[in-house]
Structures are given as C-alpha cells and as structure tokens.
Amino acid sequence: MQNGEGKSLSDYSEYLRMLDEVYKDVPRVRSTGEWFAIPQLKIEYEGDKSILVNFKEICELFRREPSHIMKFLVRNLATAGYVTDDLKLVLQGHFNEDQIMNLLNRYVSFFVRCQNCGRPDTRLIKKAKVVYMVCEACGAEAPIKTTA
C-alpha cells in the first residue's frame, strides 16, 4: 500500500527525470565563440560511387538538414547524389577528401557561420520565401544567398 508521502516523492523524482530528458534535447549554445573543426571525412568507394560514411556527424555538427548539405555538394561537384536512410551521402563519381572538405568549408561560410560575429551558433529560418540566418550568439539576422 502506498502512502501519500511516498507517492509525491516518486512523482518528484519522475519530474526531475523528465527535466533531464527535456534539457538533453536542447541544443547547447557554444559560449566560447570557438570555431568548430570539421571531423576527418570517412569516404568509401563502391564502383563509381563515393560514399561519405560520416555525413550524419557533419549534419549534426552543422545543425543543418542533410538534404540541404547534400544539394549544395551535388550542385558544386556537378554530379548526382542522394542520402541513405542511415544518413550516409552517396555521390556519383570519385571525389577525394580535399574536394569534399573544400566544399564543406564553403558551405559553412555561406550557411553556418554568422556573418556578423563569425560564430557557428546559427539557424536558418524562412520568411516569405527568403531564407534568413539567425545567430543565437549575437542575435544578428540576415538573408542569405541560397544559390551559393
């Protein structure tokens, strides 16, 4: 049999556990202002395709949609490609790490790095068909060129 006190205690620890769950999902804002490093790319070659195995890691680091990064790479490499269910990037043709890394750095300067303060703590929002970059570090909000 449960007394009232026991019940409220367990409710409280349940509440704390839920708070933990909630905070776990909140993206942490990097407060140091330090620039992040793109991890070493893991590329596998299969027939005439290049597979970026750790594409997921890069999407999470950039906090951008995999399809957005994929389209940027495909367009700039003038090839075709797609993202697999487990978030690997498959590119038609052979591309080396330098080629892809150069483009990822360009992507960051166009779509991730705040033009005002240079920090990567940004997100993209769409207003009336225009995409804006909003910086969580300095509050800057600026339209970006989506054709980059």
Give me the residues that bind Zn ion (CB under 5 A), please: 114, 116-117, 135, 137-138, 140
Of 99 and 116, the one with the shorter C-beta distance to Zn ion is 116
Residue whose pair of structure tokens reads 């993209």 in the numeric block: 124
Q: Are strands 49-52 and 43-46 parallel, antiparallel or unpaired?
A: antiparallel
Question: What minimum distance in Å lies between the beta carbon of 51 and Zn ion?
Answer: 34
Question: What minimum distance in Å lies between the beta carbon of 118 and Zn ion?
Answer: 7
143: its two tokens: 């339209």
Of 55 and 62, the one with the shorter C-beta distance to Zn ion is 62
37: its two tokens: 């490093």
Residues 20/39, Cβ–Cβ less than 8 Å: no
Question: What minimum distance in Å lies between the beta carbon of 122 and Zn ion?
Answer: 7
Residues 69/54, Cβ–Cβ less than 8 Å: no
Question: What minimum distance in Å lies between the beta carbon of 54 and Zn ion?
Answer: 27
Of 57 and 141, the one with the shorter C-beta distance to Zn ion is 141
Of 138 and 144, the one with the shorter C-beta distance to Zn ion is 138
Distance CA 98, CA 53 (A): 15
Give the rounded distance of the alpha carbon of 122 from its chain centre: 10
The residues that bridge with 42 in the sheet, in sequence order, are: none
Distance CA 2, CA 97 (A): 62
Question: What minimum distance in Å lies between the beta carbon of 148 and Zn ion?
Answer: 18
Of 74 and 124, the one with the shorter C-beta distance to Zn ion is 124
